Structure formats: structure tokens, C-alpha cells
Amino acid sequence: MAITKDAVEDKLKEVMYPGFTKSIVDFQFVKDIDITDENVYVEIDISSSAPEVEQQLRDDITRKLQLLGATKIDVVITKPKMPKQSSSQGKNIAPQVKNFVMVSSGKGGVGKSTTTVNLAIALAMQGKKVGLLDADIYGPNIPRMMGVEGQQPQIVGNKVKPILSHGVEVMSMGSLMEEGQSLIWRGAMIMKAIQQLLQDILWSELDVLVIDMPPGTGDAQLTLAQSVPVTAGICVTTPQKVALDDTTRSLDMFEKLHIPIAGIVENMSGFICPDSGTEYDIFGKGTTAPLAEQFKTQVLSEVPIEPAVREGGDTGKPVVFHQPDTETAKRYQQAATKLWQEIEKINEEGGVDNEAIQPTTPPGVSACSTGGAPSNSDDNHQGGGCGCN
């Protein structure tokens, strides 16, 4: 007797989706049934990527269809790709963190910390588990901008718990030092401080740790890249031509440190007048696009000057969270979306590996300012003269 489509469907109604009391037909997972003589082809599309679910369904379907007298049974199962959130390798002193994003700028005062804060919060608002590390040990501004200035972090044993603010885990040297206190950082101390901020802080299992760097290309950047595999780098710049020269150095540093560049944030790109909403061109606009092209990357967003941004930074009420309807808030959200897409792409393509930039100096001797990586012999790190070795 010929096998009919109805008979196949009836049999498939007896195949329960593993862990549920509903069949794959009830779940509408069956996409195609094709019968030629005693050969049956079944295609199903399931919602789980677990291999054991696929195997059980394949076995169950085959067994049921054999009862109809089918001689050849083809079961094609399509399923979502295995979530691959990090595929990075090499040294990682904070392995509970899946992805690290280094936010850099060629020069100071371009809005790096402001961008880092708003990007981190935007990512958290988009459902990611986010940490924010203030690695600007010279001028830690993050506590004020996140509204946690003066807040003491909780100490657990010999580790420190990050402070929770706006859905983000935050840690800064500013939260660990007396207010107003300043330190003169020498090379070896910079390394130690950065390592401790990664290792001795009780970061949760994070999707991403966004890291605000000091301006320039020095020991802090090198140490970070050697301590954890940095998934992606972001460069913040203002649009003037003079700022772009420094930005080139910053992008060049990412390449030397083998850090994939997620993109450029063009900050202070135009001015939105709060009275009229009209946008004025102050420093120029759109000047970073050619640079992005040169480094085979993208402009993540053009963020205009908007007084709400500065106010939000000064009062610890970041604009992306407290004034989500502003144009700048939307641009930060847009940048966060693009950044995450880039992170996923980098991981799908095999992730990053910081093996090639490990220090070549013997243990106990600081690698800072020595060029560090074999591939860095012609580098232009500006952290010279720390005198730590």
C-alpha cells in the first residue's frame, strides 16, 4: 500500500518534542514532507540548537516512519546556530567575561568617557550583561558620570565587588582611592593597577566589559591587550582634521595589538540647538568616514553636541538612560547595536587571540615601554621612560 502524506503526518503527530507534551506537528515544526514510492523525506525546523534534541527527534521520526513500511527515510533538521558568544583565545585573567571592548582616543577631551558610559548603558538596555571598567587611572571620571561618586565598593575577602549603576557593573580607580587623591603612575604600577582591576574585581559572568582607556597609546593599552583577549576596539574622535591625525595613531595601535576595530564614534559631530532643534556644523561633520574606510572599519555613529549630554555627565544621569528621546540617546543606541553586531561577527569568524603580543621579557621584568610584542618592533607607543626595568 502506498504511503500517503496524511499517514506520515499522523505518525509525526506521535513524535513529541523532547521535554514537552506537544508533538512536532502541534509546534508547527514540520516544514516539508515528500514521498516517492517507499522513500520518505521529512524536513523540520526546530528552535533548539542542542545536539541531543536533534538526535532524539531523528531517532523517533525514523522509528515511527518505519512502521509505515518506508524503506528510505531522510530526516533533515534545521536549527538555530549554536550561540557563540566568545571564541577568543590566549591569555585571559578575567575568564568569566566573554567579550572585552577597548574604548580609545588619540587625544584627551574628545568624549571618550561619555561615549563609554552611554554605550555600556545602551548595551545593558538592549539586554546584555555589561560591566564598565574605568582604566583611565590618571583621570577616573566614570564614578561621577555613572552617579556613583563617593560610593564605597563592598570588599569580599581580598576582592572588591563592582558597584551596580544603571544596570551596569562599574569599577574605577576613582572608587578605590580617597577623593581628590592623585597618584603618579610609573610603568610597572600601571600594569599592576590594570591587572588588579581585571583580576581582583568580582565581575560577574558578563557578556561584555566595556573599558574606558586613558587617552593616547601607552602602557595601559598594551597591558590590557596582553592581559585579556580584547574582542574589539572603538575609537572616539571629534571631526576636526587635527583630531583625526591622533585618531590615525589610535587605530594604528589597534592593528599593532591585533585588536579588531569595531568602528569609530564621531563625537561632537554638529550641534543641536536645544531651543530650535536645528543642527549646526561646528567642528565639521562626516570627516571620519574616509578614515574608517582606510582602516576597513565603519563609523558606529555620529553623535552631535547636545547640552543634555554634558549635563548628564556632570550630574551622573547619563543621557541614554535618563533622556532616551534625545537625538544623542538614539545615536548611542544605534552605536551599541552596531557594536554588538560586530562583536558577534568577530566571534563567528573565530574570535581573537592575544598570544602574539605577550611580553617577551623574562618573568618579573616589566614589558611596558619595551615594545612588548615581537610584531611591535616598529611601534610608536608613547609610554617610554617608565624606568621600571
Ligand X SMILES: Nc1ncnc2c1ncn2[C@@H]1O[C@H](COP(=O)(O)OP(=O)(O)OP(=O)(O)O)[C@@H](O)[C@H]1O
Q: Is 238 in contact with 270 (CB distance < 8 Å)?
A: no
Q: Where in 222-251 is the site for Mg ion (CB under 5 A)?
A: none
Least distance between Mg ion and beta carbon 112 (Å): 5
Residue 113 touching Mg ion (CB under 5 A): yes
Using CB under 5 A as the binding criterion, the count of chain residues that bind Mg ion stands at 3
Q: Is 374 in contact with 360 (CB distance < 8 Å)?
A: yes
Q: In the bound complex, which residue of the shown chain has the CB atom lying closest to Mg ion?
A: 113
Q: How far apart are CA 228 and CA 251, in angstroms?
A: 19
Closer residue to Mg ion (CB): 50 or 183: 183
> Which residues does residue 301 pair with via DSSP β-bridges, in sequence order?
265
CB under 5 to 8 A by kind: which of Mg ion, ligand X, none does 306 bind? ligand X
104, 141, 172, 376: residue in contact with ligand X (rule CB under 6 A): 141
Closer residue to Mg ion (CB): 212 or 302: 212
CB under 5 to 8 A by kind: which of Mg ion, ligand X, none does 111 bind? ligand X
Range list of H helices, 200-258: 219-227, 241-256
Least distance between ligand X and beta carbon 275 (Å): 16
Least distance between Mg ion and beta carbon 349 (Å): 31
Closer residue to ligand X (CB): 220 or 367: 220
Least distance between ligand X and beta carbon 372 (Å): 23
106, 174, 187, 215: residue in contact with ligand X (rule CB under 6 A): 215
Least distance between Mg ion and beta carbon 315 (Å): 17
Q: Is 306 in contact with 272 (CB distance < 8 Å)?
A: yes
Alpha-carbon separation of residue 246 from 44, 116, 192, 305, 334 (angstroms): 54, 19, 27, 20, 25
Closer residue to ligand X (CB): 136 or 169: 136
Q: Where in 29-58 is the site for ligand X (CB under 6 A)?
A: none
Lookup: cell for 102: 577597548
Residue 139 touching ligand X (CB under 6 A): yes
Residue 136 touching ligand X (CB under 6 A): yes
> Which residues does residue 234 pair with via DSSP β-bridges, in sequence order?
103, 263
Q: How far apart are CA 11 and CA 101, in angstroms?
A: 51
Of 10-18, 108-116, 203-211, 226-234, the segment contacting Mg ion by CB under 5 A is: 108-116
**Which residues, 6+ apart, have CB-to-CB distance to 345 below 8 Å?**
none
Q: Is 267 in contact with 309 (CB distance < 8 Å)?
A: no
Closer residue to ligand X (CB): 301 or 376: 301
Q: Where in 319-358 is the site for ligand X (CB under 6 A)?
A: 328
Find the farthest-apart pair of alpha carbons in the chain and give their distance in angstroms, rounded.
89
Q: How far apart are CA 295 and CA 251, in angstroms?
A: 7
Nearest Cα neighbor of 335 from 121, 146, 165 is: 121
Residue 313 touching ligand X (CB under 6 A): yes
Q: How far apart are CA 164 and CA 153, in angstroms?
A: 9
Closer residue to ligand X (CB): 318 or 351: 318
Q: In the bound complex, which residue of the shown chain has the CB atom lying closest to ligand X?
A: 108
Closer residue to Mg ion (CB): 65 or 110: 110
Q: How far apart are CA 218 and CA 368, in angstroms?
A: 8
Q: How far apart are CA 359 and CA 365, in angstroms?
A: 9
Of 2-10, 49-57, 292-300, 306-314, the segment contacting ligand X by CB under 6 A is: 306-314
Q: Is 387 exposed, middle or buried (0-12, 13-18, 19+ CB in 10 A)?
A: exposed
Closer residue to ligand X (CB): 268 or 343: 268
Q: Where in 61-120 is the site for ligand X (CB under 6 A)?
A: 105, 108-114
Q: In this structure, what are the phi and psi dihedrals at residue 212, rounded to the nearest 5 degrees? A: -85, 120
Using CB under 6 A as the binding criterion, the count of chain residues that bind ligand X stands at 21
- 159 CA to centre of own chain: 24
Using CB under 5 A, list all residues that contact Mg ion.
112-113, 141
Using CB under 6 A, list all residues that contact ligand X.
105, 108-114, 136, 139, 141, 215, 267-268, 303, 305-306, 309-310, 313, 328
